Structure 1
């Protein structure tokens, strides 16, 4: 039985991905990082490559992916950096990516995402943030299940956010067909889904040795905020009070992802939510850290899995 003791590590908010991965040997292991050509995805991939992993950058922009792969190769000395096209909102793209994958997969980092966008819908009518941040990654991970199981002890890393505190998954109207659209509520809902996926996926795939954990990377200025003005970001920071930490660098922002992907402290541990390289405690009212009880609710997690399967196969 997995211990319920909260996981703590020697690392914290200022730790970098390279520091977290120091001394870890990933030679012979294969990893995928979605959104690996921008933001913290680059530094996540760089740290995994620096530890010897064979890394695939799953990206929409192949040219950007190739530039990133070249840069990672130069900085780490690891030339086993591959680039493959993946558009998470296009199910045919996900299906093609999965079909092209051959052999075991040891690490899957579900990193790509969209934040607080205006109301947009996919060709199938799904709300864009939920479709990208959850459904696309759900389809990818379930499609790669056999490859993950073949690895023995595979890890899936689900990049969530403290924004999950803004909304549970509203099962009665996930895609904002009846309620008024609000960008941050939609983003929060999708980030809660990222945590619930870790809860149910770890339960379902335990016999395959697969664990899934979710995380909040911290506040990092990247292309993720392309739909959010500087004025809005600063207003949100001011509203959060003086305790809000300063912006992290991309190297610091990638640290918790890399910890979940590599640390021996996480062997056999899944279904949990981390921030600043440590497992988070329960959210306290009026704060913007910790994890919401609804994001770890096993019943909601099971319902989300069922709804996701039904949505993708409808």
Structure 2
């Protein structure tokens, strides 16, 4: 793991296209989950515009096909090919099917899909709490299943889209599924977003010898995104009034996709792995949640927490991957 600090050549207003201006991704293959809306669409578009062949991994393939058709109308001559494939991260069978149908190397895996603050406790068909299952376990199973393809790329990158919401809660290992504590939409979201960061830490530890780097990020407070579709405006207002939530300045979708694209393809982060980024740079540690609008909690980068989560996740999805010596 490199200790080199990333040069701050970009910032909160930088767009996805700007962070990889001049980068040639021809010959590279990418998967972007949740590429049917919001920053997932912009991430896919920007990577394809730079020449990458991009698979839009979406729950609704008809909607995904419409998005792909719209993107193709905007892409420049010589852009990469867009493909649509079904992936429902709450349904382990679709994850397994996606993995089974993938052939050849995979250079970029962007875990962008997610759900936020489901108002009621919801479980998957196998009994897992929905936010933890979709935001973390589904992406974990996908990445582990695609590890051979990532290793074959000889320099693959995994991008794990987390959130400032990870400050709402660490991973509560003794009650991941809210069987003993009252369900809360925000702590549930928080532990799933912490898990996204810890996954990057764990993958960096285990898969470096395969040439795979993994980093997590906070995209920002994005306007016009479907992530908050389950959240009533009053619920956000009440949460802010309680002092539990503070929001950073709002970003556009192209600005919100910038850090994902930076980690996916920019040469400025070559060799950096197991870190958490925001505004196109490594985040500073934060130890006090109240009023925080940036930064990363120490528990989200803790290697012991990452190792524990990896073991738990393997047990839950039936996958195995050992750390390097």
Give the shorter-chain TM-score range.
over 0.9
Distance 2:70 2:221 in 1: 24
Asked whether the 8 Å contact 2:168–2:186 carries over to 1, the reply is: yes
Match of 2:295 in 1: 290
Mind listing any 5+ residue stretches in structure 2 that lack a counterpart? Answer: 320-325
Instruction: Please give the secondary structure, in 2, of the residue aligned with 1:257.
Output: helix
Aligned to 1:91: 92
Q: 2:173 is matched with which residue?
A: 171
Describe the SS at the equivalent of 1:10: coil
Task: Tell whether the 8 Å contact from 2:136 to 2:196 is kept in structure 1 after alignment.
Answer: yes
TM-score, normalised to structure 1, is: 0.96
Tell me which residue corresponds to 1:75.
74
Equivalence for 2:8: 9
SS, match of residue 169 in structure 1: coil
User: Are positions 1:211 and 2:213 aligned together?
Assistant: yes
1:265 matches 2:268: yes
1:84, 1:68 → 2: CA distance? Answer: 12
Does the Cα contact within 8 Å between 1:8 and 1:279 map onto a contact in 2? Answer: no
Q: CA RMSD in A?
A: 1.7
Note closer, same or farther for the CA distance 1:272–1:79 as it changes in structure 2 (3 Å cut): closer
- Which runs of no fewer than 5 residues in structure 1 stay unpaired? none
CA distance in 2, matches of 1:224, 1:191: 13
Q: Does 1:150 align with 2:149?
A: no
Distance 1:182 1:239, change over 3 A: closer
Residues 163 and 220 of structure 2 are in contact (CA less than 8 Å); yes or no, is this contact kept in structure 1?
yes
Give the paired residue count: 313
- 1-side partners of 2:159 and 2:242: how far apart? 30
Matches for 1:1-314 after TM superposition, within 5 Å: 2-77=1-76, 78=79, 80-117=81-118, 118-221=120-223, 222-236=225-239, 244-285=247-288, 286=290, 287-313=292-318
Q: CA–CA distance in 1 between the matches of 2:285 and 2:168?
A: 15
Q: Tell me the CA shift for residue 76 of structure 1.
A: 1.1
Is the contact made by 1:200 and 1:301 (CA closer than 8 Å) also made in structure 2?
Answer: yes
CA distance 1:265–1:154, shift in 2 (3 Å): same
Indicate how the Cα distance of structure 1 residues 239 and 48 shifts in structure 2: closer, same or farther if over 3 A, else same. farther
How far did 1:17 drift? Answer: 0.6
Deviations 1:49-107 (A, max 9, x none): 11000000000011111111112111113361000000001111000000000100000
Q: Is the 8 A contact 2:36 2:63 kept in 1?
A: yes
